[in-house]
Amino acid sequence: MRRVNKDEKSRISLTLNGRKMAAEAEPRMLLSDFLRHSLGATGTHVGCEHGVCGCCTVQIDGTAVRSCLTLAMQAEGRDVKTVESLAGPNGRLNTLQQAFQKHHALQCGFCTPGILMSFTDFLSRNPKPTEEELREVLSGHICRCTGYAGIMAALKEAVGIS
Partner 1 sequence: MSKRLGTRVVRKEDPALLSGRGRYADDLPVPAGTLHAHVIRSPHPHADIVSIDATAALAMEGVWAVITGVDIKKISDPFLVALKSPIHQWSLAVDRVRFAGEPVALVVAENRYLAEDAAEAVAIEYTPREAAIDPVEACKKSSPLLHAEAKTNEISVRTFRYGDTKCAFETADKVIKLTVDFHRLSFTPMECFVAVASHNPADDSYDCMANFQGPFSTHPVMARALRVPGPKMRLRIPPDSGGSFGIKLSVFPYVVLTALAAKITGRTVKWVEDRAEHLLAASTGPNRVTEIEAAVTKDGKILGLRMDQLEDYGAFLRAPMPGPLYRMHGAITGGYDIANIDVTNRVVLTNKMPASLIRGFGGPQLYLALERMVQRIAIELGLEHLDVIRRNLVQPEKFPYRAAAGGLYDSGDYPRAVETAVGDGRLDYLKKRRDEAREAGRKYGIGFAVVVEPAMSNMGYLSTLLTPETREKAGPKNGATSMVTVNVDPLGAVSVTADVTVQGQGHETVLSQIVADRLGLQPGDIDVTLEMDTAKDQWSIAAGTYSCRFTPGTAVAAHMAAGQLADKLKRIAAKQLNVMAADVELADGKIRSISNPDNALPFGRVAGTSHWSPVMLPDGMVPALSETGVWNPPELEPPSSDDRINTSLTYGFVFDMCGIEIDPVTYQVKVDRYTSMHDAGKILNPLIADGQMRGAFAQGIACALYEEFVTNEEGAFLTGTFADYLVPTVSEVPPVEMLHIESPSPFTPLGAKGLAEGNCMSVPACIANAIADALGVKDVRLPATPRRIHALMASNGGVR
Binding flag, residue 158, partner 1 (CB under 8 A): no
| Cβ proximity to partner 1, 77 vs 89, nearer residue | 89
CA distances from 73 to 27, 46, 126, 161 (A): 6, 18, 30, 40
Q: Which of 21, 23, 145, 161 binds partner 1 (CB under 8 A)?
A: 145
Q: How many residues are present in the chain?
A: 162
Site track 33-72 with partner 1 (rule: CB under 8 A), x = hit = ---x----xxxxxxxxxx-xx-x-----------------
79-81 and 57-60: which strand pairing? antiparallel
CB 100 within 8 Å of CB 151: yes
Comparison of 45 and 129: residue with beta carbon closer to partner 1: 45
Residue 146 interacting with partner 1 (CB under 8 A):
yes
Q: Which is nearer to partner 1, 46 or 73 (CB)?
A: 46
Give the number of other Cβ atoms within 10 Å of residue 131's Cβ.
12
Residues between 98 and 127 with contacts to partner 1, criterion CB under 8 A: 100-102, 104, 106-113, 116
Q: Within 10 A of 39 (CB to CB), how many other CB atoms are there? A: 21
The DSSP 8-state label assigned to residue 13 in this structure reads E
Q: Which is nearer to partner 1, 104 or 161 (CB)?
A: 104
Q: What angle do CA 88, 94, 97 make, to 5 degrees?
A: 125
In the complex, the residues that contact partner 1 under the rule CB under 8 A are 26, 28-29, 36, 41-50, 52-53, 55, 82-84, 86-87, 91, 93, 97, 100-102, 104, 106-113, 116, 135, 138-152
